[in-house]
Amino acid sequence: MVKKVIVLLGSPRRKGNSAMLADQMTKGAKSAKGKVELVYLQGMNIAPCKACFTCRKKNSKGCSIQDDMQELYPKLIKAEAWVIASPIYWFTMSAQTKIFMDRCFALPAYGNDPFKGKRIAVAMTYGGDDPFDSGCVNALRTFQDAFGYIGAKLVGMVYGSAMDAGLIKFNDKVMEEAFELGRKLVAE
């Protein structure tokens, strides 16, 4: 049973739609006795990967970029499960989420096979009526491919349409799916 969950919020809006889905997932995780830590990526000093490969060199001490990711790496390793929540901007995940994902490239320098056994759940919201023409499917596929490649378990994804901040709370089906995914992330 998972005990520690880190929730990574990749939206500039702390009370936006993807944050609301993440909140529902948090409630689900807590209902299954998970301990949850929230991390707002917006406002953190996280630079893009500079492809120096310092993190992949023999006897590496980690990423060469000294920024707020240095605080996140140990938390990511200690957490047994991650929730990644992002709105869809311009046909994929938010820039905040993408920079975070890129910097996870260095995570193996901080622990032996740090993705093995990780349980991951994703929450996304998008404007428009359809996950295909909104670009949500592009982000879904990125998460599937990335976490499949590194051997983490993608437990599930929840996503829904809501253009204006707060509207997702009126989608009872998606809100219930988010709660259940959070519970499943911890309990199963």
Domains of the chain: 4-187 (3.40.50.360)
**pLDDT band for position 169 (cuts 50, 70, 90):** very high
Q: What percent of the chain has pLDDT over 70?
A: 99
Mean pLDDT of 24-36: 97
**pLDDT band for position 152 (cuts 50, 70, 90):** very high
Nearest by Cα to 41 from 90, 91, 82, 77: 82
Neighbours of 78 (CB within 10 A): 12
- Torsional class of 168: left (φ above 0), alpha (ψ -120 to 50), beta (otherwise): alpha
Q: Is the model's pLDDT at 57 over the cut of 90?
A: yes
Of 40-49, 122-131, 138-147, least confident by mean pLDDT is: 122-131
- On whether the CB atoms of residues 95 and 89 are closer than 8 A, the answer is yes
Nearest by Cα to 22 from 188, 168, 132: 168
Mean pLDDT of 129-139: 81
